[in-house]
Structure 1
Amino acid sequence: MDSKHHILRSFDAFPKVPPSNQVRTTRGSISSIFTYVFLFFLIWVEIGGYIDGFIDYQFSVDDVIRTSLFLNMDITVASPCKSLQVDVRDSTADRMLAEEKLNFQGLPNAMPWEMYQKTKEVVSPKLEDILANSLGAKFVIEGQRQNDDLPYCRIFGTLPVNRVRGSLYITGKGFGSTFLRSQPQTLNFTHQITEFSFGDFYPFFDNPLDMTYQVTEENAHTFQYKLSVIPTQYEKLGVDIDTTQYAMSLYESSRKYVSGIFVQYDFEPIKMIVAERRLSFWHFLIKLVTIIGGIWIVCKWCYRVLEKLLSIALGKDVLRRGEEKKEGGLLDSLDEETFEKI
């Protein structure tokens, strides 16, 4: 009977865990603490990311039919208003007399140059900044002329343009005529661009040409801008903002072409959507459990590898100092009297 009790006492229905998990060491405690702290930090970051959401960028074919949109501009040119004209032409052979919509205001001096940049670093705006600056506005006057004889001319206003390839010209009056060729010394196309955008007018949006300038010492000088315009939609918390972005390149020449400021623009057939998204709760939960499980397994393997390397470098006797071993199996804590009752 005693032999049967001994066999049953020594029997353990559960498989033995690895010896490294049967020994309590200072190293193991420290590694466990670091693992728990790291997992807590990771869970906190993931929960914060789930609450805040993420920014999703997508491109799609622009399926909204738009026949026209607005061109908003505010440009100051270093020439008198009486010597300048503005025209808009597009690929449909439609020509607009922009002077009927734009305002020409003569100025004695240019705007303060320190407000403008010659070269501007292109930075993608944040969705929060777009929503914070999405206050629309419009020019309340149009077709007005003031102080045509002053040396600087501010040209500003909104033009309705066809949504096709087109060009905006700021040249001397009589573009291509004898007047322009006979008096090039009277026209200088140094300019400051305060605003140049397409679509609804949002004065606080930062476009690539906004607050930039170009300077030339020559009167017969050509500035040619080429713009590629992309419709853009911003979405957050149920708020949608439809506007545009554009990429810009600048070419200059002297005494080769007709002097002036030429802006060629073209509209891309694609649309960019910038939206704030959130994972579903179940997707987030599965992701969180997967990450925690993966980190836990990796930490265990790293600890085992470290123990192996230390045992090789320092020897097992050194590593065993201060160990607290667990003795016995599952049934070892039962005394004889209790075992008899079982």
Structure 2
Amino acid sequence: MSLLHQIALTFLKDIGHTRAKNLVAHLGSAEEIFKVSPSKLVKIPGIGETLVGKLDMAEPLHRAEKELRFVEDNHIDVLFYTDSRYPRRLKNCADSPVLLYSKGNANLNPLKCVSIVGTRNATDYGRQLCRQLVEELAAYNVLVISGLAHGIDVAAHKECVKHHLPTVGVLGHGLDKLYPHQNRSVADKMLLNGGLLSEYPSGTRPDRQHFPERNRIVAGMADATIVIEAGLKGGALITAEIANSYNRDVFAFPGRLGDEYSEGCNFLIRNNKAALLTCMADLAYSMGWEKNSDVKGAEQLVLAIDLTAEERAVYEVIRSNSSPLAIDELAIKVNMPTSQLAMTLLDMELQGFIRSLPGKTYVVN
């Protein structure tokens, strides 16, 4: 697929991540979106004449050419959502970015992955919890995700670097800058065993609205989100809420009563929005983790979790059918809109679970 057109797709006005994925599912590639006639675009569900009438294809391509030069000059990896290296856990989230910019050498599809979040105003209590947790996580071969902000975020990244644990910082701006700049030294060290990740192109400023958006990536990439220390307001609780909406596990360390930066953790636990966490053993038990678990068995586990409930339903229907199934017939059997099914089938085909045959029919691999 054309990287230029994949980048340009993110610059199309009023398209957004969901519509972009829908277009790719119907037309087959980002490049085809820029080549197809307006009359064909109009027929795609969720697009319509009004939107097509406003589309300017030339300017996004011009911006993409500039961005492509930037990523090549700065050794940045571009991950389109159909790429096998795109974070699988994140792909299963409906609002996942259609494209990510990545710098470093992190494996974004590890066997185990957690997000660690917390207040920017970390106390000695919070930093100590962070040290203990990361030190014990090192025995489980876990990738740690956080937001490289002041406080708990950067404390988690620093501890990961210290214990040679891979860690990725998700940024709320383009990879041409670093905010806050005080964290530049730890960010540089993270590139050696982990990296930096952003959905935003170069030139994107660290504006306030980008950080809540960034939090969905922090939550979506992980098996579990761990809140170490947090007040009642702020990004940590937003991330926990998003993780809950994705049906991911959320854990929180309790704090002392009346402690301002433990009120958020206590609120999550009290309202059954997070499980109580007192040590690494609690997390390992809840997640079913074993230290240095057998790689072959773990790979089989990853294959099982790659399929969402909807994908499993589609897979079982295709598998149980004696002949290849056409998309229209499949839509009836699984009771799913054709537009949604097309996106689901594309994801499953890219993951290697099914393959398409002439006439838009499908069989299992």
TM-score range, shorter chain: under 0.3
Between structures 1 and 2, the one with greater strand share: 1
TM-score by length of 1: 0.17
Report the structure, 1 or 2, having the larger helix content.
2
Bigger RCO of structures 1 and 2 (CA < 8 A, at least 6 apart): 1
Pick the structure with greater CA Rg.
1
